Amino acid sequence: MTQIDLKKDLKDLYRATAKSVVIVDVPEFKFLMIDGKGDPNTSPAYAEAVQALFSVAYTTKFMVKKGPMAQDYAVMPLEGLWWADDMRAFATADKAQWRWTMMIMQPDFVSDELIHKAIGEVLRKKNLPGVDRLRLERFTEGRCAQVLHVGPFSEEGPAIERMHAFINERSGLRGKHHEIYLSDVRRADPAKWKTILRQPMN
C-alpha cells in the first residue's frame, strides 16, 4: 500500500525557504477547524483544540486505510490563523487577547461524511473537550507571501516584518496571519522548529 503525502505533492505551499520571501497562489482546500481565544502557551482551550484536531485527523486516516478505499495517507501538519479584535494587542504580544483558528487540511478524496463519522467516533470513544466545536470548512487564500522561520515562535518577529515589507512594496496586506507548523514541538529542539509564515496580499 503506497502512502499519499500531500505535503510533497503541494511542495510549493508546504516547503518554504528562510532565504527569501516568495509569492504563492493558494487554492481552495478542505480543513478541519476549531476557533478560540487566548494565550496558546497557557490556554486550556488551545491545548484541547489541538488534541481534538489530531485525534479526529488520525481517526479519519485509519478509517480510510482500513475501509473500502484501503488508502494510506500522511496526516497534514497543524496550521493556525491568528488575529485580534484590536490588532494593537497582536502587535504588542498581548496574547490573552489573541484569537485563533487552528486547522488541519483534509484530503479531497476523503468524503465529508467519513470525516463527520470520525468526529462522532472520537466523541463516543474519548469524549475529548473541544471535539464538539470542530467544523469542516473549505478555505482559500489566493495570492499570498510566505517565508520559513527556523527557531522558537517568540523569535518570529523579524521574519514577519520582512514578509510584511515585501508585501507592502508590491501591494498591501489582507486577511489573517497564517502559520504552518512543520515540526513536532513536543520532541524537537526549539532552535530547530520550522514554521511557514504566510500572509495573504492584494
Among 139, 164, 194, the domain-final residue is 139
Q: What domain range includes position 76?
A: 29-139
Please check the confidence at residue 105 and state whether its pLDDT lies above 70. Answer: yes
Q: Is there a single domain that holds both residue 43 and residue 133?
A: yes
Gap between the Cα atoms of 144 and 167, Å rounded: 9
Q: Could you tell me the three cell numbers for 99? A: 484569537
Please tell me the predicted confidence (pLDDT) of residue 7.
94
Q: Could you tell me the three cell numbers for 60? A: 479519519
Quick one: how many helices (H) and strands (E) in the chain? Answer: 6, 10
Q: Could you tell me the three cell numbers for 180? A: 504552518
- Phi, psi for 17 (deg, rounded to 5): -120, 145
Q: What is the pTM of this model?
A: 0.95
Q: Is there a single domain that holds both residue 90 and residue 125?
A: yes
Gap between the Cα atoms of 169 and 153, Å rounded: 25
Q: Categorize the per-residue pLDDT at 187 as very low, low, confident or very high, splitting at 50, 70 and 90.
A: confident
Query: In total, how many domains does the chain have?
Result: 2
Q: Could you tell me the three cell numbers for 53? A: 484536531
Gap between the Cα atoms of 199 and 81, Å rounded: 10
Please tell me the predicted confidence (pLDDT) of residue 84.
85
Please tell me the predicted confidence (pLDDT) of residue 195.
97
162 contacts: CB under 8 Å, gap ≥ 6: 21, 147
Q: Is there a single domain that holds both residue 132 and residue 73?
A: yes
Q: Is there a single domain that holds both residue 68 and residue 105?
A: yes
Please tell me the predicted confidence (pLDDT) of residue 87.
65
Please tell me the predicted confidence (pLDDT) of residue 94.
79
Q: Is there a single domain that holds both residue 188 and residue 116?
A: no
Residue from 161, 45, 142 nearest 102 by CA = 45
Gap between the Cα atoms of 173 and 165, Å rounded: 10
Q: Render pLDDT for 115-135 as a digit per residue (tens, 0 to 9).
A: 999 999 999 998 898 999 999
Please tell me the predicted confidence (pLDDT) of residue 91.
65
